[in-house]
């Protein structure tokens, strides 16, 4: 099952699709500070979602099988 999931998600690496959100937020904070505005750090806790890993893997395999003919 793991091999099927890995094979269905494997593609060529394209660095253009990744963005450095940290750098963007840091630059915005610096610009706000230079402009004399207050920098507010909001600590948002992410929800503690518990998922059934095996069920999620099964759904991924089913989706991969469905999309295999489209690729």
pLDDT over 70 for what percent of the chain? Answer: 83
Q: Tell me the HSE value of 9 on the side-chain side, using a 13 A CA sphere.
A: 11
Average pLDDT value for the chain: 83
Least confident of 5-9, 43-47, 52-56: 43-47
Encoding tokens for residue 16?
Answer: 């253009």
């Amino acid at each position: 099952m793991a091999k099927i999931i890995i094979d269905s998600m494997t593609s060529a690496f394209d660095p253009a699709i990744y963005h450095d959100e940290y750098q963007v937020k840091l630059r915005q904070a610096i610009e706000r500070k230079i402009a004399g505005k207050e920098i507010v750090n909001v600590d948002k806790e992410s929800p503690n979602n518990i998922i059934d890993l095996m069920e999620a893997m099964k759904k991924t395999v089913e989706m991969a099988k469905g999309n295999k003919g489209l690729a």
